[in-house]
Amino acid sequence: MNIAAPPGTLWRHARLASFQPGVPWGWIENAALWIEGGTLRWVGPESSLPRELPPGLQEHDLQGALVTPGLIDAHTHLVYGGDRAAEFEQRLLGASYEDIARAGGGIRSTVVATRAASDETLFLAAAGRASTLMDEGVTTLEIKSGYGLTQGDEARCLAVARRLGRELPLTVRTTSLAAHALPPEYTGRADDYIDAAITWLAGQQAAGLVDAVDAFCDTIGFTTAQTERIFQAARALGLPVKLHAEQLSDQGGAALAARHGALSCDHLEHLSPAGIAAMAQAGTVAVLLPGAYYFLRETKLPPVPALREAGVPMAIATDHNPGSSPCLSLLLMLNMACTFFRLTPEEAWRGVTVNAARALGLPDRGVLATGLRADFAVWDAEHPRELAYRFGHRPCRRVVQAGREIIHP
Ligand code: DI6
Ligand code: FE
């Protein structure tokens, strides 16, 4: 028996910010998108739509609505137990983020809550968070482990992230971040903990749980020597690396990551000129996280003009986590990337589309062009700059993920 392929769809009369190279925003004024399966079979102006379209195409008239690629949140810690509202209160009474971390609170308190939570509790909490991001047009999400910090709990958190990708209409990329914080049982033995974390990687990979490996290289995290050892183990397994680098101080982490061909270095408020040069040479993406900058009330800005000058691609992400960025709006990050970091609206948009895809090593998305994935969002706006300008609004009207409409008007 011949099983008929599902009929394709044709989306007509879009105002399209495609992010294809050539013109600003990859703008196509009156565009059509023809989808077969989960792929864009053809994208271009209505005036050059292929004459011979297959019969039975389902047509949607967008009536001039704005269409962009589905948003990509390239840095989150979405799977964890509990929250840190009490710590927020302590900070308002005078304690610093670092004071709290040194006193055994901070990341470690989330580790305790995560270990105590069942798989189902972790899944339901993370699914709720993912849905909130998806309501704003997110179709691809990176999720890091790093709140389990035992072999079993790290694997559990990565498995929860994988399950989100199976059960929600969403691509989830998982990153192993065992080197996030030193668990209490290893106090004073950070090198032994790194030895242990290195032995977990092969099993995570064999179980299909991990797409990349990350570490927190900072005074309250791990040293460059420890980061180097994790990276060597990851690269020996063929896993790409990324790094929480120069967030609170300049450790030279970005240059180290670039030497290992890192997909991205993230945070980067304290990034040095040498770090920028190394990232530019390696083609490493700078993932800027304005939510953490805002929430920790940082005053040192990431060196955006120098990154721009060096041609380092910049991405923007929520860094959603309970301690430094309890934020579930990637659109708000667009606005903050512009207001705090002085990105242009187009740079900020590239940061949640084409450059975010690159930070995850996903060349099939972030741009709307023939042959790429059919992930896109339809907005109540005339131009994407409006979405970087307003904040606290709800402009997402429809979302198509892998060719299927998952949010309807
Ligand atoms: N840097 C951060 O901002 C988050 N992790 C990291 O390495 C904070 C995580 C937390 O405070 O729970
Ligand atoms: Fe982070």
pLDDT in tens, 345-389: 999 999 999 999 999 999 999 999 999 999 999 999 999 999 999
How large is the average pLDDT for residues 263-277?
A: 98
Q: Report the separation in Å between the CA atom of 172 and the middle of ligand 1, taken as the mean of its atom positions.
A: 20
Most ligand 1 atoms within 8 A of CB, residue of 87, 142, 216 to mutate = 216
Least confident of 10-19, 87-96, 312-321: 87-96
Read off the pLDDT of residues 122-137 as tens digits, 9 standing for 90 and up. Answer: 999 999 999 999 999 9
Q: Report the separation in Å between the CA atom of 321 and the middle of ligand 1, taken as the mean of its atom positions.
A: 7
- Report the sign of the C-alpha dihedral through residues 250, 321, 242, 227, in that order: positive
DSSP assigned state of 320: B
Q: Is the whole-model pTM more than 0.95? A: yes
pLDDT at position 7: 75
Residue whose CA is at the smallest distance from ligand 1 atom 3: 324
pLDDT at position 220: 87
Q: Report the separation in Å between the CA atom of 192 and the middle of ligand 1, taken as the mean of its atom positions.
A: 22
How large is the average pLDDT for residues 219-238?
A: 97
pLDDT beyond 60 at 116:
yes
In whole angstroms, give the CA distance from residue 261 to residue 309.
Answer: 21
Percent of the chain whose predicted confidence (pLDDT) is above 90: 93
In whole angstroms, give the CA distance from residue 279 to residue 273.
Answer: 10
Q: Report the separation in Å between the CA atom of 53 and the middle of ligand 1, taken as the mean of its atom positions.
A: 50
How large is the average pLDDT for residues 34-58?
A: 95
How large is the average pLDDT for residues 259-264?
A: 98
Q: Report the separation in Å between the CA atom of 116 and the middle of ligand 1, taken as the mean of its atom positions.
A: 20
How large is the average pLDDT for residues 240-255?
A: 97
Higher pLDDT, 308 or 104: 308
pLDDT at position 97: 79
- Encoded amino acid at 89, one letter: E
* Nearest ligand to residue 295 Cα: 1
Please give the angle made by the CA atoms of 115, 141 and 38, to the nearest 5 degrees.
Answer: 135
Question: Which ligand 1 atom lies nearest to the CA of residue 325?
Answer: 3
pLDDT at position 6: 64
Beta-carbon contacts of 185 under 8 Å, excluding residues fewer than 6 positions away, are none
pLDDT at position 1: 44
In whole angstroms, give the CA distance from residue 136 to residue 377.
Answer: 9
Can you point out the beta strands (E) in 62-158?
A: 66-69, 71-73, 138-144
Question: Which ligand 1 atom lies nearest to the CA of residue 289?
Answer: 3
Nearest to 17 by CA among 391, 398, 346: 346
Most ligand 1 atoms within 8 A of CB, residue of 107, 222, 287, 298 to mutate = 107
How large is the average pLDDT for residues 52-69?
A: 95
pLDDT beyond 60 at 4:
no
Most ligand 1 atoms within 8 A of CB, residue of 321, 325, 327 to mutate = 321
CB 193 within 8 A of CB 182: yes
Q: Report the separation in Å between the CA atom of 77 and the middle of ligand 2, taken as the mean of its atom positions.
A: 6
Residue 273 CB neighbour total at 10 angstroms: 10
CB 137 within 8 A of CB 369: no
Residue whose CA is at the smallest distance from ligand 1 atom 10: 323
pLDDT beyond 90 at 2:
no
Residue 170 CB neighbour total at 10 angstroms: 22
Mean pLDDT of the chain: 96
Ligand 1 shell residues, CB under 6 Å:
106-107, 110, 180, 216, 244, 247, 292, 319, 321-324
